[in-house]
Structure 1
Amino acid sequence: MRDSDHSSETTGALRRSLGLYAVLTISIGAMIGSGIFVLPGLAFSIAGPSVILAFFLAGFVVLPAALSQSEMATAMPEAGGTYLYIDRAMGPLMGTIAGFGVWFSLVFKAAFALVGLSAYLEFFVEHPERPIAAALAVLLIIVNLMGVHQTAKFQTALVSTVLVLLAGFIIFGTPSTDPERFQPFLSEGVNGLLSATAVVFVSYIGVTKVASLAEEIKRPGRTIPLGILTSVGIAMLLYPAVVAVMVGVTPASELAQTETPVLTAAAHFLGTSGTYVVAGAAVLALLSMANAGVIASARYPLAMARNSLAPPFLARIGHKSGVPVAGISVTGVLLILLVLFVPLIELAKLASAFQLLVFVLVNIALIAFRESHLDWYQPKFRSPLYPLPQAFGIAAALLLLTQMGIVPLVGALTIVLAGVVWYRAFGQSRAVKESAARDALRLRENARLVQNSANAVASGGRRHVLVLFRRPTRPARQQTLFRMAMRLTAAPGGRIHVINFDARTQRMVPTATDLARAEELGIAVTTQQYTDEDRRGMVHLFVEQEGVDLFIADLPQDLRATRHITRDLRWLRENLICDSVYLRNRAVDEIDRIAVLGTGGPYDPVKIEMADHIARYETASIRFVHLTPEDAPPAFAESIRAYHEQLG
């Protein structure tokens, strides 16, 4: 057997080799591609000149998710990005869906970029489009398998060149723009503007890819938020400026029909040589975007495997290269298949629709982490103005989803269902099922119930208690019910009313001793004898008319002769507007110890109130007991201990 120290692959940590500029170029390179080189023409046909504003608004919708992702990445600087945060915030099922969706959307977009790249290469030389795109995919896979340090250098050179060329496009194109081409600005109305914003949203998908590389970034607490937010700001300025030049120099009919809007616009002010330069920039940009897609998407299988939501072999990291070899290989196979066989324009739209849903989950995940108050959640960067940006991001993303059309929504739902099926079939039995959202809800619910319990205990008892003697039974049993009522009634000032259907004990219960004790406590006692056949209806009417706030009754053994009584009591429990207490068929005299049992969740405040009043009356002790499964996660047991401390 080979010693693990000399193995070519390991499942250890990734190397931290990426600085701020590398992070910026990876993030910008993931965005600048098909969004600016292919989509403006299509978006112009939808919105007219307001497509310029559509590109800015799309970035504005992305900004809350960028803030949320930046914060979570500094608290969890590990590979996995969006998948990791949603998994830890909302549990493994939602994490699996997010991991599947983001991975597919990134690979789809990378494949779309490669096909677009192949189309731009047609400007230089004719070639078979799909085979060349597949060959480029193979090349990118090899580059990534060599290691992220080499890949980062490659990415830096690509993005730097593209940014310089796009800056030249803006500088030389702006003087040639015709102001009349921008009028009327909202030619297709607000609906056209929103629809175009949804279409161009895909242009910003790559901004949060860098979070999936958090484990490989130097000084992640500073570098990640600075890199993500700076790249968003650059894109929000760059996109509208480039599109404004396209709109300003290109006739509307021509721009609306072209799939290469940059080339079409450049031909109007740069001439032949300039067009070649722009075509080269487009090739570099699309290559950069495809490469960034491979870099980021390959980390999602790695993160899912680490959380037992994917086969363990996907967690393998090359010993020499320090990259997720298996993740890159699986991603590469899917990328090649998509490039060769799938119409990628529609898949790019599907990726955009699902990414909107993922950004909704990202913002919800941040809220879950903030509200859960987890000890280990200590981000070095915090989203400003929380939770306003997150609420806006959720609402805006859902609004844009309504503008996407039926097909993208159906496709996104299909990916969601695929994630659910995968989780049920593979990950459910292996995954850790705790989440920050569940912790947050548990903490809030525990705090609310503790406060309700405190308020109930402070009330001093119930003001009006109704005791029902429903059936003939031993006087000792009926005395137990009445004495229980005294323990639970506010003293002084409370009232106990006894309804007795048992003529035999009419003058026996309550006893003279019990009446004297009630008078001593300041509790008023009244009794009534009934023979009405509609016993449950009469009790129900009395409770509503007299304002009873606690109903006490005897619960008989489950025998054939008593089942009609049990049915009546069950009906009263479900229909009475007050709390109910039912005592099993046994006599109770003195009480010195009380146990309050729970089976996982917080106790019902009524239970705690009853136990407290009985304990005060009898000078008894109370013990809170929770029965939890042997395989309960540590976080669950810790929350139970914290809850018991709050009760104390």
Structure 2
Amino acid sequence: MASIDDMDAEFARELSLLDIIVLGIGAMIGGSIFVLTGLAAGEAGPAIILAFALNGIITIFTAMVYAELGSAIPEPGGGYLWVREALGRPHAFLSGWISWFAHAVAGSLYILSFGSFVTLIITGYFGFDPGLAPVTLQKLFALLAVIVFTYVNYRGAKEASRVENLVTFFQLSIVLVFIIVGLMVLIRQPNPTVDFDPFLPQGVGGVFLAMGLTFIAFEGYEIIVQSGREVVNPRENIPKAIFYSMLIVVTIYILVGIVLIGAVQLTPGLVETAQQTDSIGGSTVPELPADPAVWQVLGHLGEFGLAQAAGQLLPYGTLLILVTGILSALAALNATTFSSSRVGYAMGQDRVFPDSFSYIHAKYRTPHISILLSGGLIAVMAVLLPLAQVAAAADLMFLLLFLQVNYSMIKIRRERGDELTYGYIAPLFPYIPILGIITKLLLAMYFFNYSPLAWYIAIGWILAGVGLFFVYSRGRIRETEIARETRAISEERALVERPYQVVVAISNPETAKRLVTFGSRIARHHNGEVLLTTVVTVPVQTPLEEGANYITNQRELLAEAMRYVPEDIPAHRVVTIGRNVGRSIVNLAQERDSELVILGWRGRSKPTKPPILGTTIDYIVENTPCDLVIAKTEGPNTPRNILLPTVGGPHAAFIENIATAFTDDERVSLTLLYVDENDTDAVESLLLDRQTALQGSGVNASIASISATNVSEAIIQFAEAGEYDTIMMGITRGRILQRSEIGHIAEDVGEQFSGEVLLGKYYQPLQSPLIQWLRKRRDEQEELTEENREL
């Protein structure tokens, strides 16, 4: 038994900088660029370009605030959490109440755009007439979408987040093609500026209205900071993701505005289409003049403006934009349902909402009540309001939320700045947040000119929240203390920590003893320590801290495994809480700066299909930032007769070093075996040198070499004939996973040998992408040659 019992629980940080940049871009592009650009053009005319640029400038003030607070307090809850920290729980309740509603209303915008696009496709392209008014059909499709995606979030499907990333890359590709083709058309025109005059046909007021209408497109940093607990190196990566995504998105919107106004030709066909197409979501130009400008036609087309413009520039452009818009709307709907339900969950945890908001489903491990109620709120808003009014209400709600966040940043910096560790500090304090407050307030006030209804909705919702607070939430606040985020279960470290750490990943109680024995022997050989871990996974819809409620069995598993650690080996144990087992183990090894990871392998279940060793192991093999040993534990308790097939190289040297950890007993023998088509004197000389070196270290070593065309079969036959109980092999392939990261020879041996098999990979960091690419090409060529030999 280990002398010190070290037990804690940690959260896996799995999202890279690229992951959260994509997350932010997806949230900001989402359905907005396909829906709101036409509506905004109808308000600002050619000055839509200025509206997008000014929105980027105004938004950057609050983006700096989010970058600072997101780097200093990278916790789920985002703006709600910061307002609570700075202004107390009553103000936090109001911010959470607004945030919950804002994300839900944004979800309504996306499902309404989904309904509009689907309706146009089935009625305009397929000629299907269901006998319903277009607006009714739109609402029905919208309700169907919210039901499906509420259910997806309820079930906690991991595929939803993967599909969302694919949709983001797809929609970016389509938008970039649209921009490139449009700019080429614009450049070829004899007078490319003609459609930009007059630049301000609606005056400055039109610019402000377009800014307010499209502001929702620039608030994706709210979703970036919501994932703070799951981001690798959040203090550095969250600010980077916010600024990179903002730069990309603002540039894209400006370029789309230029193409819409400058490259689209005002043809009789386009005017006729605009006259015949009723904007289901609410056109900003309900009546076209006799001689309309491009921007007026786009405004009359409303949410179909970008799609009809693409029809001029790209083959099947209208249909392509409609399909892309449908996919984008669904991906954005999934993200907003996720965010809205998380805010509701956080408020339930904080006891200002009913406890049911924080309930976690026993089977799916999702905040199912919060998800269902958020989905219901999205559906209600979609049914009650047209698309343009939904967009206006969402924009106004986010503006009011950002007012509170900007002020909270001032309070937190002044009162807690010395206590926090910042990855980014906004310059010109406190002028940046003050500018954020002033610009958001002015934009919100001017927004009344565009949509009084949005203001009435906002005021009504805020008043309802104030009433709920005094009737219900204030009493619960008085009864309870502030709920703290779940962190470590306990934290004890060994009295003496050693520099060489072996991580032993345990998932099966039946193999725990053998894996711990392996890890302890290797740790002793290197005067090191062991870290036992197991992983609790929770779906993306559930905050990571909820995983702490499901660690009981894993704690018992690790407590049992600790019994097998020898007294002389310092041992720690940690339950890792994450989204994915492979990522969590890789993350733990990186965070703890471990030297070796050991995990078990059950063998292939489907030999003919990728993944090679299994999805989890393949990911670990490819990404672990240290040495790795994969063990198939079907041998004796103590290896006595070890066979080590070798072809030289760093992986073989590494596994040879591992093998020596098991040869401290003179009764254990080790045989080095070389198998190839040609049994040469050079090979025999190499093996003799290695045998001499091992024997000089006190290892009972012998050598053998055989010729064979099928290397894996020859190894197995040799092992069975020699009654070897354990085979240890180094990886002979490089850093390619498609054919086999392990190498198909080692994999075949591990699968077919009846005894114990240890497969070892030596960690070789590649500093240069060019070197990595060249090595990959070399490995592919070597593998092809190996296959030809076997054929």
**TM norm. shorter chain > 0.5:** yes
Q: Post-superposition shift, 1:64? A: 1.5
The question of whether the paired residues in 2 share the 8 Å contact of 1:143 and 1:150 is answered with no
2:307 to 254, 257, 263: 263
Unaligned runs of 5+ in 2: 1-8, 124-129, 131-136, 187-191, 267-293, 483-791
Give the number of the structure whose alpha-carbon radius of gyration is greater: 1
Give distance in 2, aligned partners of 1:87 and 1:315: 18
2:348 maps to: 305
2:40 maps to: 43
Q: Post-superposition shift, 1:223? A: 2.8
Q: Post-superposition shift, 1:320? A: 6.4
Shift in CA distance, 16/315, structure 1 to aligned 2, threshold 3 Å: farther
Secondary structure at the counterpart of residue 222 of structure 1: helix
Letter in 1 for 2:354: P
1:85 maps to: 82
1:243 maps to: 257
Deviates more, 1:294-303 or 1:407-416: 407-416
2:332 to 274, 289, 299: 289
The question of whether the paired residues in 2 share the 8 Å contact of 1:145 and 1:328 is answered with yes
- Per-residue displacement from partner, 1:406-458 (whole Å, max 9, x unpaired)? 333332222222221122122212327999xxxxxxxxxxxxxxxxxxxxxxx
* Aligned counterparts, 1:160-171, within 5 A: 160-171=169-180
1:115 maps to: 112
Give distance in 1, aligned partners of 2:97 and 2:218: 19
1:222 maps to: 236
Shift in CA distance, 211/324, structure 1 to aligned 2, threshold 3 Å: farther
Give distance in 1, aligned partners of 2:92 and 2:10: 21
Higher helix share: 1
Shift in CA distance, 374/319, structure 1 to aligned 2, threshold 3 Å: farther
Give distance in 1, aligned partners of 2:160 and 2:229: 16
The question of whether the paired residues in 2 share the 8 Å contact of 1:338 and 1:344 is answered with no
Shift in CA distance, 282/232, structure 1 to aligned 2, threshold 3 Å: same
Shift in CA distance, 434/74, structure 1 to aligned 2, threshold 3 Å: farther
The TM-score with structure 2 as length reference comes to 0.51
Matched, 1:25 2:22: yes
The question of whether the paired residues in 2 share the 8 Å contact of 1:78 and 1:215 is answered with yes
Q: Post-superposition shift, 1:55? A: 1.1
Q: What is the RMSD of the two structures over their aligned residues, measured on CA atoms?
A: 2.5
1:97 maps to: 94
Give distance in 2, aligned partners of 1:14 and 1:330: 27
1:59 maps to: 56
- Per-residue displacement from partner, 1:310-344 (whole Å, max 9, x unpaired)? 12232234566554333222212222333344444
Shift in CA distance, 149/73, structure 1 to aligned 2, threshold 3 Å: farther
The question of whether the paired residues in 1 share the 8 Å contact of 2:16 and 2:232 is answered with yes
Give distance in 1, aligned partners of 2:263 and 2:481: 56
Q: Post-superposition shift, 1:13? A: 9.1
2:215 maps to: 201
1:314 to 329, 343, 357: 357
1:189 maps to: 203
The question of whether the paired residues in 2 share the 8 Å contact of 1:305 and 1:312 is answered with yes
Q: Post-superposition shift, 1:286? A: 1.6
1:411 maps to: 457
The question of whether the paired residues in 2 share the 8 Å contact of 1:198 and 1:400 is answered with yes
Matched, 1:390 2:436: no
Give distance in 1, aligned partners of 2:380 and 2:159: 26
Shift in CA distance, 306/411, structure 1 to aligned 2, threshold 3 Å: same
Give distance in 2, aligned partners of 1:349 and 1:274: 28
1:425 to 471, 475, 478: 471
Give distance in 2, aligned partners of 1:323 and 1:82: 22
Q: Post-superposition shift, 1:246? A: 0.9
2:771 maps to: none
Identity between Structure 1 and Structure 2 (%): 28
- Per-residue displacement from partner, 1:83-125 (whole Å, max 9, x unpaired)? 1111221111221111111111111111121111121123431
2:582 maps to: none
Give distance in 2, aligned partners of 1:34 and 1:265: 16
Letter in 2 for 1:246: L
2:139 maps to: 130
The question of whether the paired residues in 2 share the 8 Å contact of 1:14 and 1:322 is answered with no
Q: Post-superposition shift, 1:146? A: 3.9
Shift in CA distance, 425/19, structure 1 to aligned 2, threshold 3 Å: farther
2:442 maps to: 399
The question of whether the paired residues in 1 share the 8 Å contact of 2:115 and 2:140 is answered with no
Matched, 1:352 2:395: yes
- Per-residue displacement from partner, 1:29-56 (whole Å, max 9, x unpaired)? 2221343222222222222101111012
The TM-score with structure 1 as length reference comes to 0.61
Q: Post-superposition shift, 1:351? A: 1.8
The question of whether the paired residues in 2 share the 8 Å contact of 1:25 and 1:155 is answered with no
1:634 maps to: none
Q: How many residue pairs align between the two structures?
A: 423
Give distance in 1, aligned partners of 2:471 and 2:386: 29
The question of whether the paired residues in 1 share the 8 Å contact of 2:307 and 2:317 is answered with no
Give distance in 2, aligned partners of 1:191 and 1:396: 15
Shift in CA distance, 62/396, structure 1 to aligned 2, threshold 3 Å: same
The question of whether the paired residues in 1 share the 8 Å contact of 2:212 and 2:392 is answered with no
The question of whether the paired residues in 1 share the 8 Å contact of 2:106 and 2:391 is answered with yes
Give distance in 1, aligned partners of 2:370 and 2:238: 22
Letter in 2 for 1:164: S
Secondary structure at the counterpart of residue 428 of structure 1: helix
Give distance in 1, aligned partners of 2:360 and 2:244: 30
Q: Post-superposition shift, 1:394? A: 1.2
Secondary structure at the counterpart of residue 77 of structure 1: coil
Secondary structure at the counterpart of residue 386 of structure 1: coil
* Aligned counterparts, 1:510-589, within 5 A: none
1:179 maps to: 193
The question of whether the paired residues in 2 share the 8 Å contact of 1:69 and 1:211 is answered with yes
The question of whether the paired residues in 2 share the 8 Å contact of 1:108 and 1:335 is answered with yes
1:467 maps to: none
